[in-house]
Amino acid sequence: MIKVEEKLYQNRYRVDADRPHIRIRNPELCNEQCDTHACTVCCPAGCWSFEDGKIGLITDGCLECGTCRVICDKFANVDWNYPRAGFGILFKFG
């Protein structure tokens, strides 16, 4: 099974270290009330994880698609922004 990391490795990024552009509004909601954790399945870059009852988000490989914000419609728990101008994914081909 190919890992998403191997795919992201092909891409070019300018990572804005320690300034994640997406935040979880209330992690408790994810951990205790959300029963689907759909973000962990649908994110094309594997940025979201749910392990040991805890939601995790690392935005370094983010493709800036917006999926996590859109699918979290029940709880609207994703505070989604573009990275600072010039940072983030840099598609060579698109």
Partner 1 sequence: MNQPTEKFDVIVVGAGPAGNAAAYTLAKAGKKVLQLERGEYPGSKNVQGAILYADALEKIIPDFRDSAPLERHVVEQRMWLMEEQSHLGTHFRSDQYNQQPGNRYTIIRARFDKWFSDQVQQAGALVLCEMTVTELLKDESGRVIGVNVDRENGRIYADAVILADGVNSLVASRAGLREDIKPAAVALGVKEIIFMPKETIDARFNLTGQEGAVIEMFGSISEGMVGTGFLYTNKDSISVGIGCMLSDMKQQQTTPVELLEKLKRHPSVAPLIAGGETREYAAHLLPEGGYDALPKLYGEGWMLVGDSAGFLNAVHREGSNLAMTTGRLAAETLLELFAAGQPASASNLARYQARLDESFVMKDLKKYRKIPGMLDRQRQFVADYPGLLNQAAFNFFSVDGRDKEAKEKEIIASFRQRRSLLGLLGDAFRVWRATR
Beta bridge partners of 62: none
Beta strands in the chain (DSSP E): 13-14, 22-24, 48-51, 54-57, 78-80, 88-89
Shortest distance, position 32 Cβ to partner 1, whole Å: 19
Q: Under rule CB under 8 A, which residues in 53-72 are in contact with partner 1?
A: 63-67, 69-71
Residue 17 lies near partner 1 (rule: CB under 8 A): no
Residue 20 lies near ligand SF4 (rule: CB under 6 A): no
Number of residues that bind ligand SF4 (CB under 6 A): 25
CA dist., res. 80 & res. 67, Å (int): 10
Q: Which of ligand SF4, partner 1, none does residue 56 bind to, with CB < 5 to 8 Å depending on kind?
A: none
